[in-house]
Chains A and B, each alone.
Chain A
Amino acid sequence: GNSVTQMEGPVTLSEEAFLTINCTYTATGYPSLFWYVQYPGEGLQLLLKATKADDKGSNKGFEATYRKETTSFHLEKGSVQVSDSAVYFCALLRGYSGGGADGLTFGKGTHLIIQP
């Protein structure tokens, strides 16, 4: 079956540090990959996505590249801010099969803490 593995943390960084959150996946075919962010007391917000190999998703200074050869989709940001403190989830959607809607498979989430 499909699965997503990511570092759980907490990951604690100082403001303006470089961020990497690792995500690897197991899936058959050609899944689409996503990063979601969850702030305290809220639901999940889509951060970025990539739908095929070598695609780079980017948003709000965050980037992730779909690497099929290493089955990875690591999240990076060059300079983090206190407001980036949240839980980050890597997720995959199995490749399109023509069968309509399908559920996401999530990693366990990485708690990120940014200190001033």
Chain B
Amino acid sequence: ETGVTQTPRHLVMGMTNKKSLKCEQHLGHNAMYWYKQSAKKPLELMFVYNFKEQTENNSVPSRFSPECPNSSHLFLHLHTLQPEDSALYLCASSFEGTSGGVAQYFGPGTRLLVL
């Protein structure tokens, strides 16, 4: 299924680099999310965007900067990262209406390695 796409799929960057991760959803959803998946740790929510407005920042360091220009696109801008930021970064989307229990649909992720 390719309802949620992410680019690049793999990224290697130095600690002084600036890079951006891109996510696009083709499902007509109105909410988008960034999650971080590290080895040996549960998936961690990073950011939530609802109708392009950021509604949650889960105590994420400022070296991660999200951007949501419209309900179909989500970016994660990276700068001066640390080696411990190496992880799989997953984007997800959902359609939020007037009832709960809505499933989130995930992209394939970007595997990030910080040297």
**Chain A interface residues (CB < 8 Å from chain B):** 4, 32, 34, 36, 41-46, 49, 51-52, 89, 91, 93, 95-97, 99-109
Do B48 and A103 have beta carbons less than 8 Å apart? Answer: yes
Residues from chain B with a CB closer than 8 A to the CB of A45 are 1, 106
Question: CA of A47 to CA of B55 in the docked complex: distance in angstroms?
Answer: 27
Question: CA of A66 to CA of B11 in the docked complex: distance in angstroms?
Answer: 39
**Chain B interface residues (CB < 8 Å from chain A):** 1, 4, 6, 31, 33, 35, 40-43, 45, 48-51, 55-56, 58, 90, 92, 94, 96, 99-109
Between-chain CB contacts (< 8 Å), 12 pairs: A32-B100, A43-B106, A43-B108, A44-B92, A45-B1, A45-B106, A46-B104, A49-B103, A89-B43, A101-B96, A103-B56, A108-B41
Apart from the given pairs A34-B103, A89-B43, A103-B58, 9 other A-B contacts in the complex at a CB distance below 8 Å: A43-B6, A44-B92, A49-B103, A100-B96, A101-B33, A101-B48, A103-B45, A104-B104, A105-B45
Do A49 and B105 have beta carbons less than 8 Å apart? Answer: no
Question: CA of A46 to CA of B94 in the docked complex: distance in angstroms?
Answer: 12
Do A42 and B108 have beta carbons less than 8 Å apart? Answer: yes
Question: CA of A52 to CA of B99 in the docked complex: distance in angstroms?
Answer: 12
Min CB gap B65→A, angstroms: 18
Residues from chain A with a CB closer than 8 A to the CB of B56 are 102-103
Q: Tell me which of A32, A43, A101 contacts B101 (CB under 8 A).
A: A32
Min CB gap B2→A, angstroms: 11
Q: Name, among A44, A46, A106, A108, the residue most crowded by chain B CB atoms within 10 Å (CB to CB).
A: A44
Do A43 and B107 have beta carbons less than 8 Å apart? Answer: yes
Min CB gap A5→B, angstroms: 10
Residues from chain A with a CB closer than 8 A to the CB of B104 are 46, 104
Do B105 and A46 have beta carbons less than 8 Å apart? Answer: yes
Do B48 and A102 have beta carbons less than 8 Å apart? Answer: yes
Q: Tell me which of B6, B42, B101, B109 contacts A49 (CB under 8 A).
A: B101
Q: Name the residue on B nearest A30 (C-beta).
A: B100
